[in-house]
Structure 1
């Protein structure tokens, strides 16, 4: 078994504190088991044999339930490429993102099709959200308790339209939107568009001109203006906290996590008023890279994937390149209700992290908490799966897959696992 070669440079708590923190951690995402109580979660520096692993393999057009021996206990084979996420629900059905045919927007991670697949592999429903080079659903989909789905979308803005937003360069761009849809009726029930919430200090003749640092709830449209393919922000993951009605988004090309108020109406989401925070669709919080809004504080992310909200209220994210060609899994302590203050350090506390000289993927990647407090890591483009203890010991690896979008852990008695007959 491969052992960790060094402790992470960002570990800021003692081993005792880590063990205590992990005793209370278990994942809250719909893709991970919710059956393990906090009292049952302990770190014994052994692999979590009480869990099976769901692997989304973008290289093989498939998804797989495996055990720690690498045996494939259940599998799904798709008739098209992943685009990219899979959600295993309690009834054993799978909601999956797939790539559309003849797509007009083919930036990395494009999808366009969302499909729900029953245990017997029949298709319950399928919806499409793509239109030539005008818009394209991509990367992620969340299945909500009300049966709706929510997903990120690229929207094409021509160079002329971008200039009206104060964009400093002369090319088409693809800023982000969020769509919530009833998949049975295909009705859009909520939407948000970043273009309603941008600030810039390039063109004083535009209404959104201002001093970036004085508007932390707005998005500097020129922060990543050198991204010549127009994919300025590159959302790649979202998680809706339905209890607090806030939406977390990993923004890869800004190296941040953004937080939106989902309690707004669609009309309010296009403004800066309304909702529980009375900020409309402006950001209620952001963290990971204060340089993105000219602010102070420690930079802890450089590219980022998967905002995994834990039942403790903490969040795990996968930092792709926080070190030189080395990735890291980072856990933050979050403290809602949120505030963003201009010119002040708004960054949350890092309470745990793991890195290793052999852990690196420029894209993709995930980290989830397992039932015994270990952390399961998917190394994205390398494909390696890692299981590490709270103290940073590498306990298990699997190299059977070439490109893993994410990996999720389920206890062996989780409803989804039982529904699959495992």
Structure 2
């Protein structure tokens, strides 16, 4: 009995000890943490009750168009990340401010409601080793640098690569705008494909464009001997260089089509040659004797035409050429075979390689007192307007020293198109501050605005009502031209800018 009572007493004593020990255990304490934020951002820790002594790292994240401006409430800090230890109830708030449009200092003017923000401007520095995508705030969204200088034109292909002309080392033909190398590069600038078009007798220059079938049209200067030049009445004492267009198949590395201007000349100097005729009657031929006029210093050196731009219209399979020293636009048929392109027959219009249409300078037909629209010109681009076709071009207008972007409504281009009268002018923008005697260009934007490249200044964007809504200054940079690519275009989506 005593043993039993002893056991009961021992158990009771143990229970008292345990109870006493439990009374001495620390009580778990929780504090409420309340975190709030403005609509311009989020935080990565949720509100709730946290055990005292808990360590937390809280970070604020701004949404697009906003910036974090600091914490307020029980804690104040301007750092986006807070490191805290919970020792009391806390209320903290993350503050975000809407970011006002931050303009690069190069942007001199911006009307956010009227500019075309659906894409980026592909800015091409003239003859340099770089090009880049610009947004309207003047930010460079993507930049390329190359190991060779550009031979003027470059474009983004639908698969996100670059196709451009680059300058060959030590060219044997060295007029302004020469290149000699046709290159395809990936988005990182790595060489994918190259075609050399440079020798003592010819060199690629100024402009190129990729056809829907992947082939590439390129402008080429080709040498004509001084003997042939003087035989048609040219006053040059050197060989001359006339214009040629070649079509290169990059798969086979071969020229699959070509057109030569020399095969479509007319002259009233030497009646013993097949090219003899009346330039005023044969307006679809090129009056080669117009080159005897001192239109440019390069003419004396043999550069007698100086094409500087081409564009292709797939719906019609025709090519537009800007012929700078003739102050003209020429339109030719691309549907011919190379053999047909040598003649005045064949092709879809039955005119072979003769000019289908031309405009800009009435003096080229022989009357030097006739009128002219252009006084040197660059960058012809076809524009499709509700079923009709027009052509946009930059008129350097050297004599007046006031350039303009001009759009002309073209007649129906076919084998019966009359040459001689100028087309209707349907848009023109000019300004006292807009002038450069060389390079430059104009490009129609999706919303109807016109992007203008002023070669020694930068870029203008103007509405159809000729209101200036954007100006970008290059600060001494010389620009070849600017091309607009929509954000949803394959050229941009395949760059994977994000």
TM band (smaller chain): 0.7 to 0.9
Give the unaligned 5+ runs of structure 1.
1-42
Report deviation, 1:45.
Answer: 6.6
For residues 211 and 309 of structure 1, the distance between their equivalents in structure 2, rounded to whole angstroms, comes to 31
From 390, 396, 405, the equivalent of 2:480 is: 405
Query: Which structure is larger by alpha-carbon Rg, 1 or 2?
Result: 2
Q: Does 1:267 pair with 2:333?
A: no
In the other structure, the counterpart of 1:373 is: 448
In the other structure, the counterpart of 2:90 is: none
Q: Runs of 4+ in structure 1 displaced over 3 angstroms?
A: 294-298, 338-342
Structure 1 stretch displaced more, 44-53 or 358-367: 44-53
From 409, 413, 423, the equivalent of 1:337 is: 413
Report deviation, 1:292.
Answer: 1.0
Q: Does 1:174 pair with 2:236?
A: no
For residues 278 and 44 of structure 1, the distance between their equivalents in structure 2, rounded to whole angstroms, comes to 49
- CA 1:120–1:169 in structure 2 vs 1: closer, same or farther (change >3 Å)? closer
Give the unaligned 5+ runs of structure 2.
1-110
Q: Does 1:308 pair with 2:381?
A: yes
Give the conservation status (yes or no) of the 8 Å contact 2:145–2:189: no
Give the conservation status (yes or no) of the 8 Å contact 2:236–2:302: no
Q: Deviations over 1:97-117 (max 9, x none)?
A: 101111011101101111111
Give the conservation status (yes or no) of the 8 Å contact 2:234–2:291: no
Give the conservation status (yes or no) of the 8 Å contact 2:357–2:418: no
Report deviation, 1:297.
Answer: 7.8
TM-score by length of 1: 0.85
The equivalences for 1:6-405 within 5 A come to 46-58=114-126, 60-132=128-200, 134-225=201-292, 226=294, 227-294=299-366, 299-312=372-385, 313-321=389-397, 324-338=400-414, 339-341=416-418, 345-380=420-455, 382-400=456-474, 402-405=477-480
TM-score by length of 2: 0.72
Larger RCO (CA within 8 A; separation ≥ 6): 1
For residues 174 and 136 of structure 1, the distance between their equivalents in structure 2, rounded to whole angstroms, comes to 10
Report deviation, 1:316.
Answer: 0.4
For residues 167 and 220 of structure 1, the distance between their equivalents in structure 2, rounded to whole angstroms, comes to 11
Q: Deviations over 1:293-312 (max 9, x none)?
A: 24798522111111111122
For residues 257 and 44 of structure 1, the distance between their equivalents in structure 2, rounded to whole angstroms, comes to 35
Aligned-CA RMSD value: 1.9
Report deviation, 1:363.
Answer: 0.9
